[in-house]
Amino acid sequence: MLRESRVKVGIKLEEEMTYKCDLGKINMNDFFIDETHKSYSDKIGPNPTSLLALSVLSCLAASFTFCLKKRGFTLKDLNGKAEVVITRNEKGFWRVKTIYINITPKIDDPNMLKRADKCLKFFEQYCIISESLRDGMEVDVKIDY
């Protein structure tokens, strides 16, 4: 059984505190991390906090989908939202305190609903990211269907 895997990413300074991502051979347009602009309408890419939230959110959504797929069920649709709460620690530095996750899958089939109920009990164990982060921050997960 494979015990370890590794992935690599890179960034290069674009301007001030904006970086161009190096994602190897992945098929995507230019992707930037923008910590320069404060206003969202000026940003040309997510900031690191948004990337963390997208990572946790997509990992949990994929883990829930994976749990359904293991019994041959297919979702009609799925939406997910994440809200990151950042507070100052005792020394005054900003820290990620909580990530609130809300996943809304569209499930009509009663058999699939039964499987979804079972998945709610254990699907988070499949998520590489949230379960690794939980020692450092609260990850609050809610599934609405």
**Residues 29-68 interacting with another protein (rule: CB under 8 A):** 29-35, 38, 40-59, 61-62, 65-66
Name the region of 72 (left: φ>0; alpha: ψ -120 to 50; beta: rest).
Answer: left
Applying CB under 8 A, among 82, 112, 141, 143 the residue interacting with another protein is 82
Query: Smallest distance, Å, CB 120 to another protein?
Result: 17
Nearer to another protein, 5 or 108 (CB): 5
102-131 positions binding another protein, by CB under 8 A: 125-126, 128-129, 131
Contact 103, 75 (CB under 8 A): no
Which residue from 70, 109, 117, 132 is in contact with another protein, where contact means CB under 8 A?
132
Backbone angles phi, psi at 64, to 5 degrees: -65, -45
Q: Do the Cβ atoms of 13 and 19 come closer than 8 Å?
A: yes
Comparing CA positions, the residue from 144, 145, 141 lying closest to residue 60 is 141
Q: Which of 70, 71, 88, 118 binds another protein (CB under 8 A)?
A: 88
Q: How many residues bind another protein (CB under 8 A)?
A: 87
Per CB under 8 A, 12 contacts another protein: yes
Q: Does 9 bind another protein (CB under 8 A)?
A: yes
CA nearest to 101, candidates 86, 113, 126, 84: 84
Residue 45 tokens read as: 């890419």
CB of 114 to another protein, least distance (A): 19
Closest CB 134 distance from another protein, rounded Å: 6
For helices 110-122 and 48-69, the axis angle rounded to 10 degrees is 130
